[in-house]
Amino acid sequence: MSRRLLLLNQWNKDKLIEKFRNTTNFIKKTFQVHTFARPSAEEKRTTFFCDCCYMKAYPYERIEMECNHPLCSECYKGYLVSAIKRGPDCLLATCPKEGCKLTLSVDLFRMYVPEPDFEKYQQYYLEFFINMRKPTKKSPSPKCNKTV
């Protein structure tokens, strides 16, 4: 959650803190947080139908985040890889369930995508951070119009 907040505020923590202080229910409004019922222990032990491929899946194939929207491992992996292929927007990718705003964690990408795709994800993350934090100043030379 903190990663997404910083990304949305261009890594400006002062701007983020100001928004947090001045906005009632800031987190709920930013992430459109909803309360979901947790699956029971019995539900986690039994097979389930994947909401993406509509195939029966076994408990060990179940991948879900805190929002409790499970998909089978193949569908989740495909979703993660396709998010990376769409480019830097993968940094703000959310749960595949329509309307859910829970941001996908870095750990999810690390665990379920092939190494070359995860390296690309990390590169997007690094580039975004550098571009947002890159201080630019006008050149001190009066004859130069460039920024450094």
Amino acid identity at 98: E
- Closest among 93, 72, 71, 70 to 81, alpha carbons compared: 93
Q: Name the least confident of 32-41, 61-70, 109-118.
A: 32-41
Confidence check: pLDDT of 77 > 80: yes
Confidence check: pLDDT of 127 > 50: yes
Measured between alpha carbons, how far is 92 from 8 in angstroms, rounded to an integer?
9
Residues of the chain within CATH 3.30.40.10 domain(s) are 34-133
Confidence check: pLDDT of 114 > 50: yes
Which has more pLDDT, 148 or 71?
A: 71
The pLDDT assigned to 37 comes to 46
Measured between alpha carbons, how far is 8 from 12 in angstroms, rounded to an integer?
9
The stretch 70-86 carries a mean pLDDT of 93
pLDDT, averaged across the chain: 76
The third-level CATH classification (topology) of the domain covering 34-133 is Herpes Virus-1 (3.30.40)
